[in-house]
A and B are shown apart, each in its own frame.
Chain A
Amino acid sequence: MVDGEFIHPGFVFLFGSLLIPLLKGWLKRAYLLAISALSIALVATMQEGTYWQIDWLGVRMVLGRVDKLSLCFLWVFTIMAFLGTLYGLHRSEDGHHVAGFWYIGSSLGAVLAGDYLSLFTFWELMACSSVFLIWYRRRPESIRAGFRYLMVHVFGGLCLFFGMVFRYWQVGDFTFGPIPPGSAGVSDYLILSGFALNAAVVPLHAWLPDAYPEATVEGAVLLSAFTTKTAVYTLARAFSGYEVLALLGTLMTVYGVFYALIENDMRRVLAYHIVSQVGYMVAGVGIGTAMTINGACSHAFAHIIYKGLLFMGAGAVLYRMGTCKLSELGGLWRWMPWTMLFYIIGAVSISGFPLFSGFVSKNMTVSGAFDAGRPLLGIFMELAAIGTFLSVGLKVTAFAFFGEGGKEVKEAPWNMLLAMALASGICLFIGIYPHALYRLLPFEVEYHPYEVSKVLEVLQLLGFSGLVFFILKEKLRPEPKINLDLDFSYRMFTKYFMAFDRRVIALLDYLLGEVWKVVGMRGLYGGAEASDSFDRKAIDGVVDGMAYGVRTIGDRSRRLQWGSLQGYIALSTAIALLALILFALE
């Protein structure tokens, strides 16, 4: 069953976590890093093939399916696991480290799973371990947000579960493989919605901006990497070429940006950008050509690193300042210059500047969309890129690191800085040597990002957005009130655009968020209370009423020197006799 060549990196994390509580101080930190580094080494020596096949009650389970698609995700997951562990090294609670390791280990397990049963197991484990990364922040709002997060994911997991049980009776096995769009049935769409929920596909995305900003500083870094990207992997594995994903993915790219523009909390801005960036991947999977799937995978790779980097930067600010609300920040360049530098590298990467990782990955999907004859989708994705640069690149940098205000703080701890430096290095490395990344992709690539026309196009777009930002900087200032005395027409457009964004889109998202909070949670509890009172009043009322009736008869019978209990027994015997007579008559 166990091949000598293959050791499951997920199990290294799962079992490795057991030793954490036994170690102390430097030994523990070295151990944490060693386990993460070991997992990278395991992936580096991995050969394609199928390993660790288990027969479990007649069902074939595959714990180690290694092919190009899973290898690509394994690489970035283990690298990110190392960076995330390094970043969170100072954390004192063992429970937080254990939860992190379980979360990483189970997402690696999900990527390596070759059947639905083991996929589901790791899927649920992922949800239940990651919630502790939110709960460990210990704020009342974090506890509540974590619970909502857990509920949503358990719900998504059960969609997957019922889909897979349903599918078992149609197909006859639990093998997890591609499902051609033409042959998909109800069970497949159940599975698809389970995956889509984890990928935060609009309109199933509300859990993400609700939960991630409430996570711990170190937890958010890990959260941003694994949950949504595992879902992207499963979608790419099973559901490539589904039109609904192409459309919803494109919607996600624009939708997340709209909301990020008006958000005030740094980490909330970033959370909405996960929705937007994952949109590129989902759309890439949905369009389903070799180029766009490659684009989705390379973008997942690049995104995990730079989004992790951005969350590290925002987390460092939160760690030192105690808040990451933009309206309360400012002037941090003086106190946290390194954090600022690394954050900006992440920001230009996500915005897709040439020489940074976002450029070589994002444009692959966009070009792929044009090549596949879907220009409309491509145009929307390009538009979303402007918003990304405006919000993550310019708005956050301008209001958090520059400007006035803020208090004097220390630079982030060494381990945070080192993790950010390594992540920045990877962003640059991928941007400069994209072929290192392209070699990992599932299909052979003939894509050259640094063609003059593409570079110029992107620079024009970004330059234009930069110009817009500096003209309209005040409009984007993250404060609740809007300045009304503007009379230039182009400013009028901006004003109405921002008003539209602030009011309509925000309202829409607010509504979506409320719908699942209110209808989901309160509806659940309302139903619970209603059933409870029904149970006590209706059912129990009838029963107790009958019992009191019988007791009254018993009281009357007491004149015949009977206790009430005997009364019941007498009644029961009478019923029995009656029934016997009925039988005898037959």
Chain B
Amino acid sequence: MGLFENPLPYDALSTIIFLPLSGALLILLFRGERAARVMALIFSLANLALSLPLLFLFDPSLSGFQFVELREWFPGLGLKYALGIDGISLPLVLLTVLLSPICVLCSWRAIEQRVRAFMFCLLLMETSMIGVFCSLDFVLFYIFWEGMLIPMYLLIAIWGGPRKDYASLKFFIYTLVGSVFLLVAIVALYLKQGTFFIPDLLFKSYDYRFQFWVFLAFAIAFAIKVPMFPFHTWLPAAHVEAPTAGSVFLASILLKMGSYGFLRFCFGLTPEAAQKLAPIIVILSIVAIIYAGFLCLGQQDMKRLIAYSSVAHMGFVTLGLFSFKLWGLKGAMLQMLNHGVTTGALFLCVGILYERTHSRLIADNSGLGKVMPWFVAFFGLFCFSSFGFPGTNNFVGELFVLLGAFETNKVMALFVIPGPILAAAYMLRLLKRTIWKDGETSPLEDLTLREVLYLLPLAVAVIWMGFAPRGILGLMESSLRLYLEAVKGAM
């Protein structure tokens, strides 16, 4: 397991992790809502700028962790303050820093009460999300993992919709149950190896019984986070009640932690068990794709529809991962990013509508083709991207996942066929109803400059990743090969 030193003169990863936190603390010092908004925007933009050196100095030919920071923390317990990124975590970190300023911008007008507290929570979320992807020590990882729960809980519970109590508690409990299993697995690994340092734990050959139980604990924790069928019901509840920024973080980043965990830990620590138990995950993924597709088709609430579509999209991610083929792994990673971009953008669109009509029902938001043409153009692009229209990002991801899945098991892959058809059906139904309506529509304000400003980067990403995914694939390829060989070696 190679660890490569940080070529930058400062601690690059610590900086991008703790800059939002310091911004959050600074917000508490100042009074005034406008100051809070501006400060949150400045800090999240600065973080975006500061993470660009990571992208440019990252060496895609290396499979190990780069920009590593290593300090003793609690030497007695073997705890280290260890950070590092590889080709799997870097794209997810970049996604996080890209979406953070967008989330600040989309809450500019939508949040009117307790603005300072809201921005504080958003920046806290950013810190812990980046922390999760960068941690190389299990205790640090677990702290960030849990640390995310509280601001997210608050986002739903304070600024949420009418059923926020139910939704936030449900989210909290579900995730907490998952975390407990995660903790069990971490402690079990510590008892076995005497360290929490992830690079020391990865790619060791543990005996199968041990692997089996650790995999199971991990799988439950991550399956809840992803979420996989049948652990998915917290997701629509949380999404419907969460404010827009909360939904975007939840869909775009939090769900990725589950699939990230599957790849990093289930493949790296328990490859043999992953091989043996893969059929279960594959079947659950296919069920999720089909079942969630049907669910989407029956929804009247736009947010609920998009929430269920996340379940289907994440089904593609887990399907691709557990195909154990390079195509599938690449496709799964691409799908993680695609879902982050597209579904995030769809939630932003629903948020924009909600600010105008104060309703999330499809019926209350129809017939917009004439009154909000620019909005419809963006929304149409994201809808098409969501069901994998060729030329958009999701098409590439789904194509790769299916190429991997077909290579592994043709019969199984045939069962996926209804999935994309359903996806097209529910997305086009949503789009049709949004654009057209019998009779006249009352006039609504089209997109403002601020809204265009935060939708545009995502629209560019949709097209760019659809036509030229080579750059992103290049970043992750050697790391993915490492994990793929670990699983294949365990056969």
Task: Tell me if B184 and A580 are in contact (CB < 8 A).
Answer: yes
Of B89-97, B292-300, B341-349, the segment with at least 4 beta carbons within 8 Å of chain A is B292-300
Tell me, in angstroms, the Cα distance from A532 to B390 when the chains sit together: 29
Q: A568-B176, A583-B188 are in contact. Are A158 and B417 (CB under 8 A)?
A: yes
Task: Tell me if A528 and B297 are in contact (CB < 8 A).
Answer: yes
| Contact of A168 (CB < 8 Å), options: B297, B403, B435, B436 | B403
Tell me, in angstroms, the Cα distance from A573 to B180 when the chains sit together: 7
| Contact of B421 (CB < 8 Å), options: A143, A146, A155 | A155
| A444 at the binding interface (Cβ < 8 Å) | no
Of A253-261, A326-334, A535-543, the segment with at least 4 beta carbons within 8 Å of chain B is A535-543
| Contact of B428 (CB < 8 Å), options: A154, A169, A565, A584 | A154
| B424 at the binding interface (Cβ < 8 Å) | yes
Task: Tell me if B390 and A125 are in contact (CB < 8 A).
Answer: yes
Task: Tell me if B384 and A540 are in contact (CB < 8 A).
Answer: no
Tell me, in angstroms, the Cα distance from A584 to B297 when the chains sit together: 48
Tell me, in angstroms, the Cα distance from A529 to B213 when the chains sit together: 38
Tell me, in angstroms, the Cα distance from A565 to B165 when the chains sit together: 12
Task: Tell me if B294 and A531 are in contact (CB < 8 A).
Answer: yes
| B402 at the binding interface (Cβ < 8 Å) | yes
Q: A169-B406, A576-B183 are in contact. Are A539 and B233 (CB under 8 A)?
A: yes
Interface residues of B in 197-222 (CB under 8 A from A): 209-210, 213, 217
Which chain B residues lie closer than 8 Å to A529 at the CB level? 298
The number of chain A residues with a CB under 8 A from chain B is 50
| B143 at the binding interface (Cβ < 8 Å) | no
Task: Tell me if B230 and A539 are in contact (CB < 8 A).
Answer: yes
Which chain A residues lie closer than 8 Å to B297 at the CB level? 524-525, 527-528
Task: Tell me if A143 and B432 are in contact (CB < 8 A).
Answer: yes
Task: Tell me if A576 and B180 are in contact (CB < 8 A).
Answer: yes
Q: A57-B473, A579-B184, A580-B187 are in contact. Are A525 and B420 (CB under 8 A)?
A: no
B45 to chain A, nearest CB (A): 31
Task: Tell me if B473 and A143 are in contact (CB < 8 A).
Answer: no
Residue of chain A at shortest CB distance from B184: A579
| B173 at the binding interface (Cβ < 8 Å) | yes
Closest 5 CB pairs of A and B: A528-B297, A528-B298, A121-B390, A531-B294, A532-B298
22 A–B contact pairs at CB < 8 A?
Answer: A57-B470, A120-B390, A146-B432, A154-B421, A154-B424, A154-B425, A158-B417, A162-B417, A165-B399, A166-B410, A168-B406, A169-B410, A524-B297, A524-B422, A528-B295, A528-B296, A532-B294, A547-B173, A572-B177, A579-B184, A580-B188, A586-B210
Given contacts A155-B424, A165-B403, 19 further A-B contacts (CB under 8 A): A120-B390, A121-B390, A140-B438, A146-B432, A151-B424, A154-B424, A162-B414, A162-B417, A525-B298, A528-B298, A529-B298, A531-B294, A531-B298, A532-B295, A535-B291, A535-B295, A543-B234, A573-B180, A576-B184
Which chain B residues lie closer than 8 Å to A147 at the CB level? 428-429, 432
Interface residues of B in 408-456 (CB under 8 A from A): 410, 414, 417, 420-422, 424-426, 428-429, 432, 435-436, 438
Tell me, in angstroms, the Cα distance from A125 to B177 when the chains sit together: 45
Which chain A residues lie closer than 8 Å to B280 at the CB level? none
Task: Tell me if B428 and A150 are in contact (CB < 8 A).
Answer: yes
Which chain A residues lie closer than 8 Å to B183 at the CB level? 576
| Contact of A568 (CB < 8 Å), options: B173, B234, B298, B421 | B173
Task: Tell me if B233 and A535 are in contact (CB < 8 A).
Answer: yes
Task: Tell me if B420 and A572 are in contact (CB < 8 A).
Answer: no
| B191 at the binding interface (Cβ < 8 Å) | yes
Interface residues of A in 504-551 (CB under 8 A from B): 524-525, 527-532, 535, 539-540, 543-544, 547
Tell me, in angstroms, the Cα distance from A586 to B192 when the chains sit together: 11
Tell me, in angstroms, the Cα distance from A155 to B181 when the chains sit together: 42
Task: Tell me if B213 and A583 are in contact (CB < 8 A).
Answer: yes
Which chain B residues lie closer than 8 Å to A150 at the CB level? 428
Interface residues of A in 134-189 (CB under 8 A from B): 135, 138, 140, 143, 146-147, 150-151, 154-155, 158, 161-162, 165-166, 168-169
Main DSSP-derived SS at the B contact region: helix
A191 to chain B, nearest CB (A): 14
| Contact of A165 (CB < 8 Å), options: B172, B234, B402, B425 | B402
Residue of chain A at shortest CB distance from B294: A531
A144 to chain B, nearest CB (A): 9
| B391 at the binding interface (Cβ < 8 Å) | yes
Task: Tell me if B176 and A572 are in contact (CB < 8 A).
Answer: yes
Residue of chain B at shortest CB distance from A520: B425
Which chain B residues lie closer than 8 Å to A121 at the CB level? 390-391
Task: Tell me if B173 and A531 are in contact (CB < 8 A).
Answer: no
Task: Tell me if A158 and B188 are in contact (CB < 8 A).
Answer: no
Task: Tell me if A569 and B438 are in contact (CB < 8 A).
Answer: no
Which chain B residues lie closer than 8 Å to A586 at the CB level? 209-210
| A218 at the binding interface (Cβ < 8 Å) | no
Q: A161-B420, A584-B191 are in contact. Are A531 and B399 (CB under 8 A)?
A: no
Residue from A529, A535, A568 with most neighbouring chain B CB atoms (10 Å):
A535
Residue of chain B at shortest CB distance from A119: B390
| A265 at the binding interface (Cβ < 8 Å) | no
A187 to chain B, nearest CB (A): 10
A564 to chain B, nearest CB (A): 9
Tell me, in angstroms, the Cα distance from A547 to B172 when the chains sit together: 12
| A398 at the binding interface (Cβ < 8 Å) | no
Tell me, in angstroms, the Cα distance from A539 to B421 when the chains sit together: 25
| B389 at the binding interface (Cβ < 8 Å) | yes
Task: Tell me if B420 and A158 are in contact (CB < 8 A).
Answer: yes
| B407 at the binding interface (Cβ < 8 Å) | yes
Tell me, in angstroms, the Cα distance from A455 to B120 when the chains sit together: 87
Residue of chain A at shortest CB distance from B188: A583
Which chain A residues lie closer than 8 Å to B403 at the CB level? 165, 168-169
Tell me, in angstroms, the Cα distance from A258 to B406 when the chains sit together: 43
> B466-483 vs A: 1/0 string, CB under 8 Å?
000110010000000000
Q: A169-B406, A535-B295 are in contact. Are A579 and B177 (CB under 8 A)?
A: no
| B170 at the binding interface (Cβ < 8 Å) | yes
B448 to chain A, nearest CB (A): 21
A534 to chain B, nearest CB (A): 9
> B158-189 vs A: 1/0 string, CB under 8 Å?
00000000000110110011001101100110
Task: Tell me if B417 and A57 are in contact (CB < 8 A).
Answer: no
Residue of chain A at shortest CB distance from B395: A121
| A128 at the binding interface (Cβ < 8 Å) | yes
Interface residues of A in 447-497 (CB under 8 A from B): none
B350 to chain A, nearest CB (A): 19
> B287-326 vs A: 1/0 string, CB under 8 Å?
0000100111111000000000000000000000000000
